[in-house]
């Protein structure tokens, strides 16, 4: 363990990639790698990539092009592509960009030390298997060093839902849940290292069904209740959920588990039943709205966030207006909206496409509505006193930045605040992307 070699990782895509990047760095530490923020001094550069939309996938190739001079400057530099583009494109990456030495899919990260050694010995290496062994079991123990107050923890991975637009079932594979005791041990370990808030991750996190110590399948709700028993852990969040897996026990947990934060990311994609059917979402606009009502009955102040796709094949103006109507009814506090991007190998990519200028114009209208709602919901926080978990110093002297229970960024100046503190803050103002307040 020399620690003399430098590893640079660039992460794209969702939070699961952020978690995976941490685990990859840990997996490579025994091979002598320490993280660096400077690609110029790296001996190994890993791009942890995303394949969800065309733009995300193309970023990888432009980034690889930019790395070319580094490779000429340092002949020992190895370049690897990890993540969902690696899984989706495999060998094709080597054909398009011969400077790549290593391609590794998301289910093979535990093999990184061996793959890196092989790449160093000469010749490009590709591993995009879905191995029978569980990568988490083979990734080994996590380091003991102290760390920041918030952490991601992957509890479930993969997806069996096959929405007609989506690459995730192909890049991440079938749904797999980690055993309860592994999750609890990792959470206790994170808390011992200073973590106060854990966000449980999964492509369909609420489909979690890990095997418990009693030999039974535990639901996400049951897992959350067990996590809430951990002393020192103050906050629990989870993402991303699918409407069809929002079970009664999970809804009840939102009303009963104090540590479970009042924020729920529940993508709906469209407000038109015709389009939802074509997307293979297996729920209707009406069932989604009724579901939100039940969640709000359990936890009235919960902030709902969502994802939308506009311009899905076959979407008419009428379908799009149904989406706007759903948005008005739900009232979102946070949202992500995208123009449909045809992805190779997915059923919807083969269908007749909506004209790009029509889709762009709809996206503009939807985003105007969503932004207005977000501003309103954020504005309503002004005058309230909220518990804020402080994460880092702000840009101004003496300023600290933290997160409210509803995941709004909150800036506070003055007062004796340390990173990791949770303090009541009276919210005084709402800016475009954050709140300001003073210690109560
Ligand atoms: N597992 C999550 C979302 C995964 S992808 C879920 O089921 O909701 C994150 C978001 O990207 C999706 O919710 C969707 O809004 C968007 N997305 C996925 N595929 C897309 C595509 N082909 N074009 C445009 N947006 C897409
Ligand atoms: Fe993709 Fe649908 Fe699975 Fe979400 S539920 S990851 S959108 S296939
Ligand atoms: Fe992207 Fe893969 Fe996440 S496609 S959104 S990095 S699961």
pLDDT tens digit sequence for 16-25: 999 999 999 9
Helix (DSSP H) and strand (DSSP E) numbers for the chain: 14, 21
Give the per-residue SS3 of 2-29.
CCCEEEEEEECCCHHHHHHHHHHHHHHH
Which atom of ligand 1 approaches the CA of 269 most closely? 15
Mutate to test the pocket of ligand 1, among 57, 174, 267, 280 (most ligand atoms within 8 A of CB): 267
Q: How far apart are CA 334 and CA 327, in angstroms?
A: 11
To the question of whether residue 335 is assigned a binding role by annotation, the answer is no
Does 166 appear as a known binding residue?
yes
Cα–Cα distance between 7 and 161 in angstroms, integer?
A: 35
- The residue whose CA is least distant from atom 1 of ligand 3 is 50
Residue 3 has pLDDT above 90, yes or no: no
> Residue 141's pLDDT is what?
78
Shortest CA distance to 246 belongs to which of 297, 212, 211, 196?
297
Indicate which atom in ligand 2 lies nearest the CA of residue 172. 6
The bound ligand whose nearest atom lies closest to the alpha carbon of 308 is 1
- Work out which ligand 2 atom sits closest to the CA atom of 307: 7
End-to-end CA distance of the chain: 48
Pair of tokens at residue 86: 């690696």
Mean pLDDT over 342-356 rounds to 96
* Secondary structure letter of residue 350 according to DSSP: G
Ligand 2 centroid – CA 302 distance (Å): 23
Tell me: pLDDT of 1 over 50.
no
Nearest to 34 by CA among 80, 2, 79, 73: 2
pLDDT digits (tens, 9 = 90+) for 8-49: 999 999 999 999 999 999 999 999 999 999 999 999 999 999
Ligand 3 nearest-atom number relative to CA 15:
3
Q: What mean pLDDT is reported for the chain?
A: 96
Q: How far is the CA of 161 from the centre of ligand 2 (A)?
A: 6
Of the bound ligands, which one is closest to the alpha carbon of residue 14? 3
In contact, 353 and 313? CB cutoff 8 Å:
yes
CA 387–ligand 3 middle distance (angstroms): 31
Q: Which atom of ligand 2 is nearest to the CA of 162?
A: 8
Segment 195-208, tens digit of pLDDT: 999 999 999 999 99
Phi (first) and psi of residue 124, to 5 degrees = -75, 150
Answer yes or no: is pLDDT of 2 > 80. Answer: no
Element holding 106 (H helix, E strand):
none
Task: State if residue 307 touches ligand 1 by the CB under 6 angstroms criterion.
Answer: yes
pTM above 0.75, yes or no: yes
Cα-to-centroid distance, 289 and ligand 1 (Å): 19
431 alpha carbon to ligand 3 midpoint, in Å?
A: 30
What confidence tens digit (pLDDT) does each residue in 147-197 have?
899 999 999 999 999 999 999 999 999 999 999 999 999 999 999 999 999
Domains of the chain listed by start with CATH number: 5-127 (3.40.50.12160), 136-381 (3.80.30.20), 385-439 (2.40.50.140)
Which pLDDT value is given to residue 139? Answer: 84
The whole-number pLDDT of residue 132 equals 78
User: How close is the Cα of 300 to the center of ligand 3, in Å?
Assistant: 31
Q: State pLDDT tens for residues 360-376.
A: 999 999 999 999 999 99
Lookup result for tokens 């939309």: 53
Which helix or strand (DSSP H or E) is residue 419 part of?
none
Tell me: the pLDDT tens digits for 373-407?
999 999 999 999 999 999 999 999 999 999 999 99
Ligand 2 pocket, 119 CB below 6 A?
Answer: no
Judged against a pLDDT cut of 80, whether residue 140 lies above it is answered with no
Q: Which atom of ligand 3 is nearest to the CA of 172?
A: 7
Tokens 């969502």 locate to 306
Render pLDDT for 212-222 as a digit per residue (tens, 0 to 9).
Answer: 999 999 999 99
Tell me the pLDDT tens digit for each residue of 246-300. Answer: 999 999 999 999 999 999 999 999 999 999 999 999 999 999 999 999 999 999 9
Q: Using a 6 Å CB cutoff, which residues line ligand 3?
A: 13-14, 16-17, 50-52, 83-84, 167-168, 171-172, 203
Whether the per-residue pLDDT at 322 is higher than 60: the answer is: yes
Cα gap 339→360, rounded to integer Å: 7
Ligand 1 center from residue 254 Cα (angstroms): 25
Q: Mean per-residue pLDDT for 123-149? A: 86
What is the average per-residue pLDDT within 305-316? 98
């Amino acid at each position: 363990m020399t620690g003399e070699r430098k590893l640079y990782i660039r992460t794209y895509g969702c939070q699961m990639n952020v978690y995976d990047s941490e685990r990859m760095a840990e997996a490579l530490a025994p091979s002598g790698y320490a993280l660096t923020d400077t690609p110029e001094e790296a001996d190994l550069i890993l791009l942890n990539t995303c394949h969800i939309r065309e733009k995300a996938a193309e970023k990888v190739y432009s980034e690889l092009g930019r790395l070319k001079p580094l490779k000429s400057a340092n002949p020992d530099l190895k370049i690897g592509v990890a993540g969902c583009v690696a899984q989706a494109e495999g060998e094709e990456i080597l054909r398009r960009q011969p400077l790549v030495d290593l391609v590794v899919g998301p289910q093979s990260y535990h093999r990184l030390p061996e793959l890196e050694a092989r790449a160093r010995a000469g010749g490009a290496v590709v591993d995009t298997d879905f191995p029978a062994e569980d990568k988490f079991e083979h990734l080994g123990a996590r380091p003991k060093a102290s760390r920041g107050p918030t952490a991601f923890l992957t509890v479930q991975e993969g997806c069996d839902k096959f929405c007609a637009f989506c690459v995730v079932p192909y890049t991440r594979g079938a749904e797999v849940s980690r055993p309860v005791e592994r999750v609890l041990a990792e959470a206790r370990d994170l808390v011992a290292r200073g973590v106060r808030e854990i966000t449980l991750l999964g492509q369909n996190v609420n489909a979690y069904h890990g095997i418990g110590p009693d030999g039974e399948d535990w639901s996400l709700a049951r897992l959350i209740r067990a996590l809430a028993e951990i002393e020192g852990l103050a906050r629990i969040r989870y993402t991303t959920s699918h409407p069809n897996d929002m079970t009664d026990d999970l809804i009840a947990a939102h009303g009963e588990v104090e540590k479970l934060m009042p924020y729920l990311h529940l993508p709906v994609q469209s407000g038109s039943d015709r389009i939802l059917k074509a997307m293979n979402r297996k729920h209707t606009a009406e069932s989604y709205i009724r579901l939100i009502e039940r969640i709000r009955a359990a936890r009235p102040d919960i902030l709902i966030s969502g994802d939308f796709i506009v311009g899905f094949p076959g979407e008419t103006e009428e379908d799009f207006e149904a989406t706007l109507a759903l948005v008005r009814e739900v009232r979102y506090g946070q949202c992500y909206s995208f123009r449909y991007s045809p992805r190779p190998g997915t059923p919807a990519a083969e269908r007749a496409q909506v004209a790009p200028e029509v889709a762009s114009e709809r996206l503009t209208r939807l985003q105007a509505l969503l932004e207005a709602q977000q501003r309103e919901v954020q504005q309503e926080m002004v005058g309230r006193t909220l518990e804020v978990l402080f994460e880092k110093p702000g840009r101004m002297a003496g300023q600290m930045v933290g997160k409210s229970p509803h995941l709004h960024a909150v800036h506070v100046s003055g007062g004796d605040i340390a990173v990791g503190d949770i303090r009541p803050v009276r919210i005084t103002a709402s800016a475009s992307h954050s709140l300001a307040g003073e210690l109560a």
